């Protein structure tokens, strides 16, 4: 405590010096000399200067001098826009600043910039505005894009549309690339107002017409680690294929318990298993999670790599795992008939869904049957006689599972938990990698059943460790921003839906009621998405501030240590507590490392989500390329000044540009969130069903263009009628 107080005193002295009128910007060495800092204390001064810079109190100039940030100046991260303007995000401020095109002054996407605030008024829905004064550091030094050859030179058109400038490549640095090649380009010159950035080709990924090259481009663009190095692979090879009898010492032996895994048909990394026993006073539920931390020890090569990756990434044609397949598909996978080490949360649950008692223990289990969601669904929902006979010894447990899952879901619903159940995309590829089928991914009753049990285990573990008052990683979801809620209320009111509570005092139950109102209606998916976009992102934190969407004060991620690093990290903490090793030194250790772990895992999670969405967009464009001229029925999913987005039943979304709405001159009505024809008064609004024809696709922008088929048109010919029924299947 004394050291911390002394550190804060030193920090205050540095702030006072730099704030004084007599202070002139100095470099680190000059400051150290001026303040007569001892050699042994110089690392402390360096730490203070870095901290003050991160807090925005200081700015480090390109020459390395430290100066106080002026009141109208901000340091932040620039986000580009394809149309030339951009935004600056300032840490600690909820809203970003709009930067007009003429005020960007050479800033490129992801640059760290110094910005002067030019307007702080937000009246009439305006954004705060700024002007870029200085580029402090460049954010992107390598880009993925498509090469376009010229005479004696070439250009790379970046895949990332937010990087709004092509990159000039001299002939000597093209590496033999030809037009249409997907390439990686290293920037050698960032250009300026009148000059394009320059670069050299470092890698050719393939041709744009090769479907695998597009996915590889996304992998490279998001810097997703793919290969494991020799040291990591050697560690994986040293891990045995079977558990050692010595590993069983001190573990609870649950191999006699009837145990199943329930996953997708293609799943290979089975990291959770379930046991359930119905009892006179309720249920005994066991959620058993692969004990990955037994094999992946702290600071080992595999641990450092798992921390760097943060999560497995699930792309349409491949999985980029957090751990090598030897572990994730082998000793750490809860395979049928194999003895496996687990960390189990065993809960007594009463008839109301309340956990009355629980135990978290190191265990050894043996899975009796590896079940699929489809098979369990056919037993529970379809009463399939063949399936019931095949799994007859497990059928009573499946019915008990459904009974408990219904109770748990009802309990969550009563407290206000929000379930955004709009369809995700399922994209099936042919042997060449082209999308053959795009359809909504169906969440079966069996999927929801497993989700219910995982949610309960996550809540139980989080609450247990919250009350132990030791360092931990929680999964938190903050309450929505009141300003965004005001805008959402206006949008919803146009459709006759209302959020009753004040924007700054909304309870999750309000959103739950809204989603119940729209369930089964054509506008359900659209309302769900609008509501979700108005909420904040869930993230990992060391403070247990609750999960708004689930309406619970305690939540963490415990159930997937094979594919999520936070789960692996808290497994270690749990096991140290089980072995009574959580002393002051270990508490101090976790207090020091967990904030960075939580922050980094939140970032890698967002990176994975963005990469997955990017690949989906690419495959949807490829799919619709072959359907230009075809007609479909869809629902208006978004409206803005430049047109309307229409979503088809197969989850593909395209734009009807306002300039292509040729039967009238249409204007965007912001209050009604609609397009209104000036002459006809015809209105197009969210959730409305329309007929569209596919007119174009753009691989570079990853967009799909539609035109409306006006209601006044004659009925389409039979061929068009058949096409309109096509949902991609």
Do residues 291 and 580 make contact, with C-beta atoms less than 8 angstroms apart? no
Q: Please tell me the predicted confidence (pLDDT) of residue 90.
A: 86
Q: 219-223: which pairs have CB atoms within 8 A and are 24 or more residues apart?
A: 219/315, 219/320, 219/611, 220/144, 220/184, 221/143, 221/144, 221/159, 221/160, 221/611, 221/614, 222/607, 222/610, 222/611, 222/614
Give the model confidence (pLDDT) of 186-226 as tens digits: 999 988 767 889 999 999 999 988 888 889 999 998 999 99
Q: Which residues contact 166 (CB under 8 A, 6 or more apart)?
A: 148, 155, 156, 157, 158, 196
> What integer best gives the mean pLDDT of the chain?
89
396-414 mean pLDDT: 96
Binning pLDDT at 50, 70 and 90, where does residue 2 land? low
| C-alpha to C-alpha distance for 709 and 27, rounded to whole angstroms | 66
Do residues 661 and 705 make contact, with C-beta atoms less than 8 angstroms apart? no
534-550 mean pLDDT: 93
User: 10 Å Cβ neighbour count for 572?
Assistant: 19
Domains in the chain with CATH codes: 2-68 (1.10.10), 73-137 (2.40.50.140), 142-208 (2.40.50.140), 230-478+540-614 (no CATH), 482-535 (no CATH), 627-724 (2.40.50.140)
pLDDT at 717 over 60: no
Counting Cα atoms < 13 Å in the Cβ hemisphere of 471 gives 22
Structure tokens at 387: 């399936």
Structure tokens at 701: 């922008």
- Quick one: what percent of the chain has pLDDT higher than 90? 58
Residue 575 DSSP SS3: helix
Rounded-to-10 torsion of CA 91, 96, 98, 99: 20
Q: Please tell me the predicted confidence (pLDDT) of residue 295.
A: 96
Q: Please tell me the predicted confidence (pLDDT) of residue 42.
A: 87
Residue 179 DSSP SS3: coil
Give the model confidence (pLDDT) of 428-442 as tens digits: 999 888 999 999 988
Binning pLDDT at 50, 70 and 90, where does residue 92 land? confident
Strand partners, 370: 261
Give the model confidence (pLDDT) of 320-371 as tens digits: 999 999 999 999 999 999 999 999 999 999 999 999 999 999 999 999 999 9
Q: Please tell me the predicted confidence (pLDDT) of residue 122.
A: 66
DSSP letter at 351? T
Binning pLDDT at 50, 70 and 90, where does residue 716 land? very low
Q: Residue 660: exposed, middle, or buried by beta-carbon count in 10 A (0-12, 13-18, 19+)?
A: middle
pLDDT at 268 over 90: no
Binning pLDDT at 50, 70 and 90, where does residue 714 land? very low
274: region left, alpha or beta (phi > 0 left; psi from -120 to 50 alpha): beta
35-41 mean pLDDT: 86
Give the model confidence (pLDDT) of 446-458 as tens digits: 999 999 999 999 9
Give the model confidence (pLDDT) of 477-488 as tens digits: 998 888 888 888
Residue 254 DSSP SS3: coil
Distances (CA, A) of 679 to 167, 462, 641, 642, 707: 45, 59, 18, 18, 19
Q: Please tell me the predicted confidence (pLDDT) of residue 124.
A: 59
pLDDT at 713 over 70: no
Indicate the range of 53-57, 293-297, 719-723 predicted with least confidence.
719-723
Whole-prediction pTM value?
A: 0.83
């Amino acid at each position: 405590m004394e050291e911390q107080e002394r550190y804060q005193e030193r920090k205050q002295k540095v702030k006072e010096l730099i704030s004084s009128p007599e202070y002139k910007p100095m470099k680190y060495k000059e400051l150290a000399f001026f303040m007569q800092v001892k050699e042994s204390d110089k690392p402390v001064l360096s730490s203070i200067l870095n901290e003050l810079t991160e807090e925005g109190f200081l700015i480090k100039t390109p020459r390395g001098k430290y100066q106080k940030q002026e009141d109208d100046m901000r340091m932040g991260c620039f986000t580009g826009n394809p149309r030339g303007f951009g935004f600056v995000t300032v840490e600690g401020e909820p809203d970003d600043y709009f930067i007009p095109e003429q005020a960007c002054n050479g800033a490129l996407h992801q640059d760290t910039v110094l910005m002067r605030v030019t307007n702080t008024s937000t009246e009439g829905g305006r954004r705060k505005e700024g002007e870029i004064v200085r580029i402090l550091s460049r954010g992107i030094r390598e880009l993925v894009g498509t090469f376009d050859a010229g005479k004696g030179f070439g250009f790379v058109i970046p895949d990332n549309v937010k990087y709004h400038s092509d990159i000039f490549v001299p002939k000597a640095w093209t590496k033999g690339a030809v037009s249409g090649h997907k390439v990686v380009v290293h920037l050698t010159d960032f250009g300026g107002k009148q000059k394009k950035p320059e670069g050299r080709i470092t890698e050719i990924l393939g041709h744009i017409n090769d479907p695998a090259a597009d996915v590889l481009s996304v992998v490279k663009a998001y810097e997703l680690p793919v290969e494991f190095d020799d040291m990591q692979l050697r560690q994986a090879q040293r891990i045995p294929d079977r558990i050692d009898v010595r590993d069983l010492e001190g573990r609870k032996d649950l191999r006699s318990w009837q145990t199943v895994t329930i996953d997708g048909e293609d799943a290979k990394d089975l990291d959770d298993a379930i046991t359930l026993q119905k009892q006179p006073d309720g249920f005994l539920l066991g959620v058993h999670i692969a004990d990955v931390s037994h094999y992946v020890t702290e600071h080992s090569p595999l641990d450092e790599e798992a921390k760097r990756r943060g999560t497995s990434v699930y792309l349409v044609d491949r999985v980029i795992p957090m751990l090598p397949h030897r572990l994730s598909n082998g000793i750490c996978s809860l395979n049928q008939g194999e003895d496996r080490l687990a960390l189990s949360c065993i809960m007594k649950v009463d008839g109301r869904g309340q956990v009355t008692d629980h135990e978290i223990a190191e265990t050894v289990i043996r899975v009796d049957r590896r079940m699929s969601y489809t098979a369990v669904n056919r037993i529970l929902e379809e009463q399939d006689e063949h399936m019931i006979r095949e799994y007859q010894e497990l059928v009573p447990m499946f019915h008990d599972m459904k009974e408990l899952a219904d109770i748990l879901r009802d309990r969550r619903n009563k407290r206000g938990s929000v379930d955004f159940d709009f369809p995700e995309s399922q994209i099936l590829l042919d042997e060449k990698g082209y999308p053959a089928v795009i359809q909504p991914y169906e969440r079966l009753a069996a999927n929801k059943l497993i989700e219910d049990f995982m949610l309960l285990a996550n809540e139980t573990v989080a609450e247990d460790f919250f009350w132990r008052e030791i360092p931990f990683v929680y999964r938190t979801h903050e309450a929505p921003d009141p300003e965004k809620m005001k805008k959402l209320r206006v949008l919803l009111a146009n459709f006759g839906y209302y959020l009753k509570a004040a924007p700054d005092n909304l309870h999750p139950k309000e959103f739950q009621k809204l989603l119940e109102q729209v369930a089964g209606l054509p506008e359900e998916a659209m309302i769900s998405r609008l509501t979700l976009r108005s909420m904040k992102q869930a993230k990992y934190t060391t403070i247990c501030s609750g999960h708004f969407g689930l309406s619970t004060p305690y939540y963490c991620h415990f159930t997937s240590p094979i594919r999520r690093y936070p789960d692996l990290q808290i497994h270690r903490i749990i096991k140290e507590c089980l072995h009574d090793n959580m002393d002051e030194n270990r508490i101090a250790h976790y207090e020091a490392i967990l904030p960075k772990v939580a922050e980094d895992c939140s970032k890698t999670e967002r990176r994975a989500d963005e990469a997955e969405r990017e690949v989906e967009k690419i495959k949807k464009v490829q799919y619709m390329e072959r359907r230009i001229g075809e007609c479909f029925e869809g629902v208006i999913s978004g409206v803005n000044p430049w047109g309307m987005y229409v979503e088809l039943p197969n989850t593909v979304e395209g734009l009807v540009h306002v300039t292509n709405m040729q039967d009238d001159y249409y204007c965007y009505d912001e209050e009604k969130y609609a397009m209104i024809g000036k002459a006809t008064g015809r209105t197009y609004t969210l959730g409305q069903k329309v007929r569209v024809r596919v007119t174009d696709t753009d691989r570079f922008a990853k967009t799909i263009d539609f035109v409306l088929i006006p209601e006044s048109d004659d009925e389409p010919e039979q061929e068009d009628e058949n096409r309109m029924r096509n949902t991609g299947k």
